[in-house]
């Protein structure tokens, strides 16, 4: 199964990134799968060069620490494969200004960034190219990327219609639970790298103490009943979903086992700590060997370029170039 997905190196990974995306990647990896540190995307918001340089390596290490095996699938940096930037331009001449203006992620980010960059606006086009370059069938992502995926599908269909059959039209694959992990302090808002309250996000690199503190302080409700209800009990439902996702069981079966919020929270923090501990450990080992990581990334980029090159050429020729 041809799979592509990517993640931005724009800060520490949180449980949403892990449960919504990275864990699905690990489960679905195969010789035909491509997982990308989308470092070009991280330039759409202000970021110090030294910070980006550090974070992109850390994210690559996190991918491997979480269980992606570069011997099985292709793991690489977006900026190492120039076809991403090249196809972006071709697709900018296919996607319309109006379509991009409707993207909710753009509207939210632009509202907060004074004098935002053109790249923030055209970002979904770059993302569409990432996916289309690999003739992708499935894109495992969290719920917040659905709209971008629709744009990608529209762009592919329009291109094929206008210039002849060129791209495979991909589909989003969203996990059955934890596709939208919510902020622990404001459970009507999604957990995010940048926006969260200090206790709102659990990061993969958090210490066991920090995890326990965040889970125990998570906002719930006062009716005292342990049952999922996204509307009326968003905080508790979020905790149940995180639990169910880590355990791989249905939300209801977790809820049935508990009568008290405190017991649920205690077991949940143990589950999160024990699930993340091996990742944290491997992460430190991997970061201690930067040359090894660089070697793996170079191999990944060569393998990715071998697939992306012919697809790019085909698209360029279809438009009358080359």
Which letter does DSSP use for residue 228 in this model? -
Dig out the tokens for 81 from the structure. Answer: 């494969």
Beta bridge pairs of residue 179: none
Interface with ligand TYM (CB under 6 A), residue from 3, 20, 90, 251? 20
Nearer to ligand TYM, 30 or 222 (CB): 30
Site map 180..199 versus ligand TYM, x via CB under 6 A: xx--------xx--------
Please list, in sequence order, all residues whose beta carbon lies within 8 angstroms of the beta carbon of residue 45, skipping any fewer than 6 positions away. 10, 109, 113, 117, 120
Q: How far is the CB of 136 from ligand TYM (least distance, A)?
A: 8
Interface with ligand TYM (CB under 6 A), residue from 3, 16, 244, 303? 16
Please list, in sequence order, all residues whose beta carbon lies within 8 angstroms of the beta carbon of residue 256, skipping any fewer than 6 positions away. none
- Contact 53/129 with Cβ under 8 angstroms? no
Binding piece for ligand TYM, criterion CB under 6 A, among 66-74, 160-168, 175-183, 224-232: 175-183
Q: Is 311 in the site for ligand TYM (CB under 6 A)?
A: no
DSSP SS3 for 118: helix
Q: How far is the CB of 7 from ligand TYM (least distance, A)?
A: 4
User: How many Å apart are CA 320 and CA 322, to the nearest integer?
Assistant: 7
Q: How far is the CB of 88 from ligand TYM (least distance, A)?
A: 11
Dig out the tokens for 311 from the structure. Answer: 């697809």
Binding piece for ligand TYM, criterion CB under 6 A, among 6-14, 161-169, 244-252, 300-308: 6-14
Q: Is 228 in the site for ligand TYM (CB under 6 A)?
A: no
Please list, in sequence order, all residues whose beta carbon lies within 8 angstroms of the beta carbon of residue 174, skipping any fewer than 6 positions away. 20, 140, 141, 142, 143, 146
Based on the residue annotation, tell me whether 109 is a catalytic residue of this protein: yes
- Contact 155/128 with Cβ under 8 angstroms? yes
- Contact 128/91 with Cβ under 8 angstroms? yes
Q: Within 134-163, which residues bind ligand TYM (CB under 6 A)?
A: 139, 141-142, 144-145, 148
Q: Applying CB under 6 A, which residues contact ligand TYM? A: 4-8, 16-17, 20-21, 38, 41, 127, 130-131, 139, 141-142, 144-145, 148, 179-181, 190-191
Q: Which residues are catalytic?
A: 109, 190, 193
């Amino acid at each position: 199964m041809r799979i592509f997905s990517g993640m931005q190196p724009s800060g520490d990974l949180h449980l949403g990134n892990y449960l919504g995306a990275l864990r699905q990647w690990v489960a679905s990896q195969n010789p035909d799968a491509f997982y990308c540190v989308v470092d070009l995307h991280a330039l759409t918001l202000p970021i110090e060069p030294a910070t980006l340089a550090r974070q992109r390596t850390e994210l690559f290490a996190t991918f491997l620490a979480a269980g992606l095996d570069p011997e099985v699938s292709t793991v690489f940096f977006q900026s190492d494969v120039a076809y991403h930037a090249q196809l972006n331009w071709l697709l900018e001449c296919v996607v319309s200004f109006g379509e991009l203006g409707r993207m909710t992620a753009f509207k939210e980010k632009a509202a907060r960034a004074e004098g935002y960059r053109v790249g923030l606006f055209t970002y979904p086009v770059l993302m569409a190219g990432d996916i289309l370059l690999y003739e992708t069938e499935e894109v495992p992502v969290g719920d917040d990327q659905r709209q971008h995926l629709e744009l990608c599908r529209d762009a592919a269909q329009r291109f094929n219609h206008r210039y002849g059959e060129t791209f495979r039209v991909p589909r989003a694959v969203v996990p059955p639970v934890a596709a939208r992990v919510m902020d622990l302090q404001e459970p009507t808002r999604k957990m995010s790298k940048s926006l969260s309250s200090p206790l709102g996000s659990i990061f993969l690199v958090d210490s066991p103490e920090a995890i326990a503190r965040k889970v125990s302080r998570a906002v719930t409700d006062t009716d005292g009943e342990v049952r999922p209800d996204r509307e009326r009990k968003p905080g508790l439902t979020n905790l149940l979903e995180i639990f169910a996702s880590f355990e791989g069981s249905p939300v209801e079966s977790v809820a049935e086992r508990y009568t008290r919020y405190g017991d649920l929270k205690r077991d949940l923090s143990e589950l999160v700590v024990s699930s993340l501990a091996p990742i944290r450990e491997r992460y430190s080992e991997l970061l201690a060997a930067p040359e090894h990581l660089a070697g793996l990334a170079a191999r990944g980029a060569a393998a990715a370029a071998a697939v992306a090159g012919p697809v790019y050429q085909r698209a360029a020729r279809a438009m009358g170039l080359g």
